[in-house]
């Protein structure tokens, strides 16, 4: 599901995004300015370009959840996406783009 979501986001395939997202999906973005929440498959699919750019990152697991981490050329984490999947659909996505929060996380080294 995660790879299908990232591919659809990167390609701008709105209908495919709706297929992999639960109708009541929750998308939380944590930034230096605060936390922002988007609810619902249509709204999340519309904002999926943020996640699509992370498709260039590498797959990881964070607290048992599938994720994607993107790093700078120097290996500094730039963003982290984590996903919760149930019944064949994504029910929750969390994006962390706050450099201070990322620096405090015990993330895997870039490959």
Q: What would the mean pLDDT of 90-101 be, rounded to a whole number?
A: 95
Sequence-ordered strand ranges (E) for 72-107:
77-86, 89-96
Alpha carbon of residue 75 to chain centroid? 19
What is the reported pLDDT for 74?
Answer: 85
| pLDDT tens per residue, range 36-85 | 999 999 999 988 765 555 556 788 888 889 998 988 888 888 999 999 99
The answer on pLDDT for 91 being more than 70 is yes
Of 61-65, 92-96, 107-111, least confident by mean pLDDT is: 107-111
Contact 24, 37 (CB under 8 A): no
pLDDT averaged over every residue in the chain: 87
Q: What pLDDT score does 110 carry?
A: 59
DSSP 2-68: HHHHHHHHHHT-HHHHHHHEEEEEEEEEEETTEEEEEESHHHHHHTTHHHHHGGGSEEEEETTEEEE
Q: How many whole angstroms from its chain centre is CA 20?
A: 13
Per-residue confidence (pLDDT) for residue 87, from 0 to 100 = 93
Taking the whole predicted model, whether its pTM rises above 0.85 is answered as yes
Which pLDDT belongs to residue 63? 85
Q: Which residues pair with 90 in a beta bridge?
A: 21, 85
């Amino acid at each position: 599901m995660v790879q299908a979501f990232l591919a659809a986001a990167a390609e701008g395939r709105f209908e495919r995004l709706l297929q992999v997202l639960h109708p009541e999906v929750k998308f939380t973005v944590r930034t230096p300015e605060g936390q922002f929440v988007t609810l619902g498959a249509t709204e999340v699919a519309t904002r999926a370009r943020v996640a699509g750019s992370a498709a260039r990152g590498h797959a990881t697991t964070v607290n048992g959840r599938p994720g994607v981490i993107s790093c700078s050329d120097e290996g500094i984490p730039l963003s982290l996406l984590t996903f919760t999947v149930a019944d064949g659909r994504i029910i929750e996505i969390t994006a962390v783009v706050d450099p201070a929060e990322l620096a405090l996380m015990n993330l895997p080294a870039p490959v």
